[in-house]
Amino acid sequence: MKDIEYLRSRPKSDMHNHLNLSMKYERYKHWAGVAIPNFPRKMTGLDEMHEVIGSYTRPRCKTAKDVKDLFEMSIQDAIADNVVWLETSIDINFLKHYDNNLDKFLSDISELVAKYKKEIEIRPEVGIPKTLDRDFIRTWVYPLFESKVFNNVDLYGPEVFEGIEDFAYIFKLAEKHNIKKKAHVGEFSDAQSVRKFVELFDLDEVQHGIGAASDDSVLKFLADRKIRCNVCPMSNVMLSAVPSLKEHPIKKMIDAGIPIGLGTDDLLFFGKTNSDQLYDMLKCGLITDADAEMLMAVRG
């Protein structure tokens, strides 16, 4: 079994990451000047996580400079873990911190990508929450895609399916602009929901997707279509989506032939870098050394 020093020394990717919440807690606490009580801790789903965001992290982030600071801290902590390829969501709602000044928003993102390009390939994605005002999304998604600053799009939020067809135009537009199509599904929802999202939006990749493991036909569907699932094991444990790391379905998905990427999701909340996650999965016997090497080698 590879030790933690070896894993930290190896170049790797982070394929599922939210740039405003992907720094270590100690770094965040020093910047914020505020401690979050009993944190990080295991939670009972996304609602509890969003309570913490609403009470602590969102109120602390008031300005465009705050947003950029959060992004930069996350990039620095990725580099510290030898992440050389980072696919990371930037929530469209942060435009409001820039007073809807699109040029400044894009400039700050481009500046960070360029500043760290010798150490890490940053692939920004337009992060779209399902709960955001639909008119706001429609207003801004077109210029964001046209900017050529973003490589991917990621739809996320509560795993509810009523009115989900309203977002189909976004993925058609993404295809037109050669933007990789991702969506969060199958974190808490079932296998059929994963299949539905892939078919409805013609997804290239699924964020999470672990619900697929409950249905062998959906595993085969994903494998046959070569749909990568960008899985975040510690996030799933900490949000009680799985009972324990040892019971996580990542190995079942790998063995089913599904391409798998490894992600930290929100390092601030879950406390484990990708090196840490690999070590923990090896230690409990969930994955093999060969699996770990494969996960570290994922790019693009």
Residues 3-62 have pLDDT tens digits of 999 999 999 999 999 999 999 999 999 999 999 999 999 999 999 999 999 999 999 999
Residues 4-297: name the CATH superfamily: Metal-dependent hydrolases (3.20.20.140)
User: What pLDDT does 160 receive?
Assistant: 82
Helices and strands (H, E) in the chain, number of each type:
15, 8
Four-CA torsion 63, 67, 68, 70, nearest 10 degrees? 130
Domain extents in the chain: 4-297
Q: What is the pTM of this model?
A: 0.97
What's the pLDDT tens digit per position in 152-169?
999 999 888 889 999 999
Give the angle 225-88-124 at the CA atoms, nearest 5°.
95
Non-local (6+) Cβ contacts of 208 within 8 A are 16, 184, 185, 186, 187, 229, 230, 231, 232, 236, 241
Annotated catalytic residues are 187
* Residue 55 burial (CB count, 10 A): 11
Residue identified by tokens 């795993």 is 159
Answer whether 120's CB lies under 8 Å from 50's CB: no
d(CA 43, CA 220) in angstroms, rounded, equals 31
Q: What count of Cα atoms within 13 Å lies in the side-chain half-sphere of residue 264?
A: 33
What residues in the chain have per-residue pLDDT under 50? none
Half-sphere exposure of 120 (CA within 13 A, CB side): 27
Element at 208 (helix H, strand E): strand 205-208
In this prediction, residue 161 carries a pLDDT of: 86
Average model confidence (pLDDT) across the chain: 98
**DSSP β-bridge partners for residue 180:** 152
